[in-house]
Structure formats: C-alpha cells, structure tokens
Structure 1
Amino acid sequence: MKIDHVHFYVRDATVFSDWLVNILGFQRVASGSSHHTYTEVVKSGSITFVISSPLTSTSPIAEFLRLHPPGVADIAFLVEDLEAVIENAIAQGNQVVKLPQEQLQRQGRLKWSKIPSWGSLVHTLVERDGICEESFFPAQLNWITNTADGKVPSLSREANQVNNNPQTMFTTIDHVVLNVAAGELERAVNWYQHVLGFCPQQIFSIKTQQSGLYSQVMVDSTGEVQLPINEPTSANSQIQEFLDFNGGPGIQHIALRTSNIVEAIAQLRGRGLPFIEVPSSYYSELRQRPGGSNLPLPTAEWEEIATREILVDWQQQFPQALLLQTFTKPIFGKPTFFFEIIERR
C-alpha cells in the first residue's frame, strides 16, 4: 500500500493550487469541471494533491464545507487487490461509500472504491493495472470540461521526469496525522489495524502546560505509509483546539519530505510562508541532551539550522540518525490543517 493521492476540499481550487505552485513549488498538471465541482491536480515528486471546490450548492464539496473548514477530505491509498480489501472491510462491519467500479482506458484499467473513516474523512482505494499512478484519477471521470482538447488530461513521461528532477523541493509524503476525539484513539487504532491492515508502532504521551495528547503511530504492512493518530488528554490541548475548530476528527497535518531542509526553509521563508517560532534557548538546551554534543552537524550547518528555526531530534542510541523538521502556521486561517517539512538522515 502507498498513498495514491490526497484530496483537498476548499472554497476556491484555483487559489489553493496557485498557492501550492507559487509557495511550495508544486506543478499544475490537470484541471476540469463536473456539473457541480471544479478540480485541479498538482504534483511534486511522487506527491499528488487533488483540489476541489464547489460550483453549486449541490456539490459534495459544498456539503463538506458547511460542516468543516477547508482541508483534507480523502486520503487515497493504492492497493494491490481492491476486491480483497473491500471484502475484508465489509466483513469487519464497515460501510462502503462507493462500491468497486472499473474504468477501462487505452493504457490500462483503473478500479476504485471508497470507504468512510473517522468523522468526514474517507479513503478512496485505488487499484491500477497498466495506468501510471500520476495519470488518471477517479475524480476525472465526472469531468465534462478540462484544460486539454476535450480529452481527459494525463501526464506524459516527460512531465513525470520534470516532477522528479533534482530541483523538486518535496519528493514524497513522509506521514499523515489524524486527530480523533478523547477516548477514540483505541477504536481508531483498531479500525486501521483490522480494516486496512496497519500495524501499531510507537506510542507517545506528551504533556505540557499548554497541551496534552496521546499519539499512536500506525504503519501499513509494507512500511510505505505512516499514520500517527492523536487524541487530546486535556481541555487546552492543541488536538482539542483542532477538533473544536474543525468540527470533529480530521487530518491535522501532512509531512512533506525534502532532501535539504535548510535550503527548503530558506526558500519558503523568502516566499513569505510563516512557520512556528523556536526560541534561541532551544538550541543551547539541545546540546545538553545525551548525544547532543556529538551530533553529525558541522558548525556552519548548526548555525544555519538555528537561524532557520529548524527542530532537531534523534534517539539516544542512534545519535547519528537525525530528524530535522519544522511546521508551518495553519494554512486555512483557523487553527486546523498545516504542513510539516521534514528531512531524515
């Protein structure tokens, strides 16, 4: 299993697509309309975002936006055997939003279905046979207009190569984080474990004066997809704030992986993207942690990391394996969805 694409529901798909292209460096690859919804598709490396906004009040995006602020409505997974996954989901007592459907194309076959997850979040399950994952999406089947010459747009090999060139800022999705209500973590973990075959990994308990949460990391059987699930443990928790403003459970953030976080943050700050603030005392305290004085970071790079306000983490037994990360401010105004920028060494 891996993430096939992420579907955002927003008020204006063009505005958000422009933001992804101009700020995060994505490339616009397709767009089109159904009778009630306008959709654009953008890519960076292996990351594909599908962005939809309503054209009429009957659009499913309009219904979503009546209940929630803009954000992620669908994490689509690429699976090897769609029928087996759906059969297991039904056996586990799960509903199916859309029964398996199939579309034959000249270059192969696309099969897909859709199941509900937590809150309004759904998972489209996609099986591709001969169709490159970047070239065709279920949402496109409802298009009556598009940017090409009356044909459903698809990516050429040349476009795919451009998206994977060394200048691409973000190469893949590192992980996606789901927030659920207090008391729902165990049920959510069991659902992903038994319905989609995820395995529980690390569990974290974090408590500060400003926040409190439990977090269970879930990983699919191939190790390709990481899905931490959070629940709040205090009324002032950042997770509870998200739930209140989001109107219930949902995707809190997506971590975008880069091969050079120092350069990426420099570019993003230069384009006006705001990030969380990190106090200068953080870096002096970091040196006091076990292994902190022996980190594999040259002095010049350490200074750049501090200047860019990038967080640094490692496991005590493996100080040579570094995790470098930071977080944007909320993307849609309210304290809901944001991006994480991450580099693993």
Structure 2
Amino acid sequence: MEFDRIQFYVENAKISSDWFVSHLGFQSTAGYSNSQTRTEIVSSANVCFVLSSPLTVASPAASWLKFHPPGIADVGFRVKDIELAVARAAAAGATILEPIQEELTAAGCFKRAKIAGWGDLSHTLVERIGENSLLPTSSKLPLFATIDHVVLNVESGDLLSAVSWYQKILGFEPQQNFDIQTEKSALRSQVMVHADGGVQFPINEPASANSQVQEFLSAHRGPGIQHMALQTADIVSVVADLRSRGLPFLPVPPTYYSQLRQRQNYLPADWQAIAASEVLADWQEDSPAAMLLQIFTQPIFAEPTFFFEIIERRATFVNGKQVQAGGFGAGNFRALFEAIEREQMKRGSLSLDIKSG
C-alpha cells in the first residue's frame, strides 16, 4: 500500500493552487470544472493533491465545507489488488461510497473505489495498472519526493476504536504509541503502519480538555486530518527555500538545541545549519547518524487546523547494512507538542488547568 492522491476541499481551488505553487514549490498540472465543482491538481514528484471548491451548493465540496473549514476530505491509498481490498473492507463493515470503476488514461489503466473513513473522512482505493507515476514528471527537481505519513485526530475516548477500525477495514497494524503530558496539556497517539508498503498513519486523541488535539477538533468541528509529512532528502536547503517563499514555521527555542547537545554525543557536520534552520533532530541510540529531522509549518488555513510537516530520514551504514531513521522520535514528538502549546498560548486557547481524560 502507498499513499495516492489527497483530496482537499477549499474555498477557491485556483487561489489554493497558486498558494501551493508559490509557497511549497508544487507544480500546477491540471485544472477542470463540471457544473458543480472547480478542481485544480498540483504535484511534486509522487505527491499529488486534488484541490476542489464548490461552484454551486450541490457540490460535494459545498456539503463538506458547510460543516468543516478547508482541509483534507479524502486520503487515497494505492493498493495492489483493489477487488481484494474492497471485499475485505466490505466484509469488515465498511460503507462503500463508490463501487469499483475502471478508467483508461493516456498513462495507463486504473481502478478505483471509495469507502467511508473515520468521521467525515473518506478513502479512495486505487489500483494503477501500467502507470509509473501519478502525473507526468518535470525536468525541474522537486522539493518533495513522497508523503511520509498522514495524521488523524479523533475525539477523546475514540482512539482504541479508531485503531481497531483501521486494523479491520484496511489492514493497518499498531506500532509505536505515545502518551505526552506537560504541565499544560496532554495527548495520546498510536502510530499505525501497513505491512504491505509501510504506509504510516498515526492517530491522536486528546488526553486533556485543553489539548491541541481538542483545539483542532473544535476548530475542525469533528475528527479529521491534522497534518501531513512531506519527505525530502535535504531538509536544510528545502526549509531555506520554503522560508524564502514566505512559508511560516513553528519556532523552536534555542534551549532545545543546547539541551540536545548535552544529551547526544554525536553531532552531524551540518549541526549548526540544522539548529539555525530550527529543525528538530532525533537519533537512534545504536545508529546516531541515522537521524530523524523534522520541522512543522504554521496552520495553512485561517483556523488552527491543518499544517504540514517537512521530514528527512537520514541513513547510515551499521555493520555493512544501511540503516535509515524510522518511526517517530519521542524527543521530536514532545518538542512538536510543546511548540504547538506555545502557539496555543498566543491564540489564548490554552490554560494551565489540565484535566486528563
């Protein structure tokens, strides 16, 4: 399984397309309308976003935006055998929103179906036959190669149910779990990974009434996709490029780096550039050169809902075998949590009175 196209519902597809091109370095690759909806497609290597906005109240985008602010409405997954995937989902109780359809394009043939996901989220399942990529490639070197992971936020008390649902319906399995609590707020998280292809799909729930997850749920008006990680091979240069385009990131205090230097014996050659870029860094104890490097944007829409993560998973050789940074570092997870807390305090949505759920 791999991530396929990601569907955003937005207020104005053309304006959103221009934003992705100017701020994230994506390419505009297609645009079309029907009687109800305007759609723009933007891409970066194997990352493809479908941006749709309503032309009439009958548009699916209008129905979705009536209840939610702009954001991700559908997370597409590419599967090897769509008949098997849909049959498994249906047998496990999934709601089939669109049955399997087959389409022929200039790039090849593909089959697709759509199932209802958690909350108002849906998942389009796609089997691509004879297609080497989602869209034609460009000679221009893309900033991002692939989607690393997508994160779902659910209501308090729903984490175990959501984990079970994605296990039964789509075949995900639990991997890492996190319980993060500070003096101000708390959350619980379960990382889900698909054995066939390694797609990572973490699920979060609030563990305090003022959790950043609860702030998202309140602003989004229900469960939904909180953020997506775009993977790059050179995070320092990519972040510099994105900052020059005007993309704002969550700030990281200098104390984070001084504490990290005291905790770690290994420092990479570009450590100063990493710190100057305000990129979070984590190491695996048995292979410190296999670093996990992450940075997070401010919310990209008007409300404090969806944001992007930029991630680099560095690799090294241990005993002749290549080892790449995998999973999610606990240190980086907590640092992100605290960075969002600081933004919550700026917005006035975080008090010091936490009530664990």
TM-score of Structure 1 vs Structure 2, range by shorter chain: 0.7 to 0.9
Equivalent residues of 1:4, 1:133 under 8 A apart: no
Residue number in structure 2 paired with 1:281: 255
Question: Match for 1:308 among 277, 280, 284?
Answer: 277
The yes-or-no answer on 1:201 pairing with 2:175 is yes
Alignment of 1:107-146 (within 5 A): 108-135=108-135
Residues 36 and 307 of structure 1: is their aligned pair in 2 closer, same or farther, counting only changes over 3 Å?
same
Q: What is the letter of the counterpart of residue 329 of structure 1?
A: Q
- Percent of aligned positions with the same letter in both sequences? 54
Tell me the matched-pair count.
314
Q: What is the letter of the counterpart of residue 112 of structure 1?
A: R
Residue number in structure 1 paired with 2:63: 63
Once the two structures are TM-superposed, the CA of residue 304 in structure 1 deviates from its matched residue by 1.5
Once the two structures are TM-superposed, the CA of residue 293 in structure 1 deviates from its matched residue by 2.4
**Which whole-Å CA distance do the structure 1 matches of 2:313 and 2:89 have between them?**
34
Residue number in structure 2 paired with 1:265: 239
Unmatched tracts of structure 2, length 5 or more: 315-357
Once the two structures are TM-superposed, the CA of residue 266 in structure 1 deviates from its matched residue by 1.1
The yes-or-no answer on 1:317 pairing with 2:289 is no
Residue number in structure 1 paired with 2:265: 293
Once the two structures are TM-superposed, the CA of residue 208 in structure 1 deviates from its matched residue by 1.1
Residue number in structure 1 paired with 2:156: 182
The yes-or-no answer on 1:218 pairing with 2:206 is no
Equivalent residues of 1:331, 1:337 under 8 A apart: yes
Equivalent residues of 2:93, 2:169 under 8 A apart: no
SS of residue in 1 equivalent to 2:274: helix
Equivalent residues of 2:46, 2:133 under 8 A apart: no
Deviations 1:286-344, CA, capped at 9 Å, x for gaps:
1122xx1223x12xx22222211111112333322111111000000211000001111
Provide the TM-score with structure 2 as the length reference.
0.85
Residue number in structure 2 paired with 1:140: none
Question: Match for 2:145 among 158, 161, 171?
Answer: 171
**Which whole-Å CA distance do the structure 2 matches of 1:202 and 1:318 have between them?**
19
Residue number in structure 2 paired with 1:145: none
Residue number in structure 1 paired with 2:213: 239
**Which whole-Å CA distance do the structure 2 matches of 1:21 and 1:107 have between them?**
24
SS of residue in 2 equivalent to 1:31: strand
The yes-or-no answer on 1:252 pairing with 2:217 is no
Structure 1 stretches of 4+ with a deviation exceeding 3 A read 104-108
Provide the TM-score with structure 1 as the length reference.
0.88
**Which whole-Å CA distance do the structure 2 matches of 1:190 and 1:126 have between them?**
23
Alignment of 1:80-95 (within 5 A): 80-95=80-95
Unmatched tracts of structure 1, length 5 or more: 136-154
**Which whole-Å CA distance do the structure 2 matches of 1:39 and 1:179 have between them?**
26
Once the two structures are TM-superposed, the CA of residue 248 in structure 1 deviates from its matched residue by 0.5
Equivalent residues of 2:8, 2:49 under 8 A apart: yes
